[in-house]
Amino acid sequence: MPEGRTVFAQLMDVVPRRAFERCVRRYGGNHRVRAFSCYDQFLCLAFAQLTYRESLRDIETCLRALQPKLYHAGLRGRVARSTLADANETRDWRIYADFAQSLIRRARQLYDADPFAVELAQTAYAFDTTTIDLCLALFPWATFRQHKAAVKLHTLLDLRAQIPTFVAITPGTAADVTLLDALMVEPGAFYVVDRGYTDFERLYRLTQSLAFFVIRGKRGLDYVRRVSRPVDRTSGLRSDQTILLCGPKTATLYPEALRRLTYVDPETGKRFVFLTNNFTLPPLQIARLYHCRWQIELFFKWIKQHLRIKAFYGTSVNAVKTQVWIAISVYVLVAILKKTLALDRSLYEILQILSVTLFERVPIQQALALMPVPDSMSEACNQLSLFDL
């Protein structure tokens, strides 16, 4: 990347502009827009994510202070709080959702060869939900409880690439398990879910789609054992069985055989029961695959700590979804940057360095590779393991 340009401009070089413009044209994002384009809106909100801006006024004040540097960073429109607020309210959020998907496809290709904790040829996904609490007076559409509002982020995470491939944003009252219906099931892939997603009718649809699932079993499951295979008890395994459900409803909802595994964690002594429709993977691999589900919990914790998705710049459904999808785009952009520059830093360190060097005129690789990181930053980063392989 050439010298003399700001770090922010060099970071935005990673953005595939043709893909972005296709998304804009698909939904008419720039129709009858004269000064503040969708790309200007994206740059403003990406700047806000990278520098932890608290409000629209905060974004406006900071960007106006940097006005001489904005043109060369790609920001052509004049930044005004009211203009940005209107854009968040009226520009279709699907523009940024589709664009994020194009970035996700690129990132998954880059991380496809990375090592994985389980020797698995197929793709493995973890599906889970996190809740973001909101004020009911400001977000009346985000119904959750009588005196409380919230939105849910339903996320499908590629466990090898640690990249979200599907995100749905719903009011807090939406049942988590119903979002399984929205997934585009990939034949041959593994879907790892917690026991809160126990719905045998929906799990059977995964089987009919030629996909595999691993789910933690609930207590009191009515079943009959058909086959019991020997296991190595020194590894923590206690049983490996083939079962048939025999409950009055479950036997009808899932008429085929299931595999039931019992595993005791050697470190904690905690007992786990897993159900899966895969009968070929070694039993210990199934237990390890479920253990990898923890990566989605780390992902939720990471984005809540380091991106702006807990406080929003607008109160409408469109504004909230726009901000979330741009936050995900920034996350994936930084992940792409890390891989393409072969940086030996965590995403947390990269974001921290970008936040203070965004408008410095230095080569971005030099800024990210040579700048020392305080010890306190390293300690905070060690709490999570995303992209620290």
pLDDT at 167: 94
Q: How far apart are CA 113 and CA 116, in angstroms?
A: 9
Q: Name 178's Cβ contacts closer than 8 Å, sequence gap at least 6.
A: none
* Phi and psi at residue 5, to the nearest 5°: -105, 155
Q: What is the pLDDT of residues 192-202, one digit of tens each?
A: 999 999 999 99
Same domain, 247 and 323: no
How many distinct structural domains can be found in the chain? 2
Sequence letter at residue 5: R
Domain assignment present for 124: no
What's the average model confidence in pLDDT over 314-333? 95
DSSP string, 221-269: --EEEEEEE---GGGTEEEEEEEEE-STTHHHHS-S-EEEEEEE-TTT-
Tell me which of 221, 256, 282 is where a domain ends. Answer: 282
Tokens of 160: 């090898």
pLDDT at 380: 41
pLDDT at 163: 93
Q: What is the pLDDT of residues 39-95, one digit of tens each?
A: 999 999 999 999 999 899 999 998 888 887 887 777 776 788 999 999 999 999 999
Same domain, 65 and 16: yes
Domain assignment present for 148: no
Domain assignment present for 296: no
Domain assignment present for 211: yes
Tokens of 246: 């025999």
Domain assignment present for 102: no
Same domain, 325 and 248: no
Domain assignment present for 63: yes
Average pLDDT of the chain, as a whole number? 89
Same domain, 276 and 351: no
Tell me which of 231, 258, 282 is where a domain ends. Answer: 282
pLDDT at 381: 39
Alpha-carbon torsion 287, 292, 298, 300, what sign?
negative
Q: Percentage of the chain with pLDDT > 90?
A: 68
Same domain, 82 and 31: yes
**Residue 370 pLDDT grade (very low, low, confident, very high; cuts 50, 70, 90):** low
Same domain, 331 and 270: no
Domain assignment present for 122: no
pLDDT at 377: 39
Count of beta carbons in the 10 Å neighbourhood of residue 199: 19
Same domain, 323 and 278: no
Same domain, 329 and 274: no
What's the average model confidence in pLDDT over 309-324? 94
Same domain, 342 and 264: no
Find the domain containing 23 and state its range: 7-97+319-381
**Residue 378 pLDDT grade (very low, low, confident, very high; cuts 50, 70, 90):** very low
pLDDT at 68: 77
Tokens of 385: 């393991």
pLDDT at 385: 52
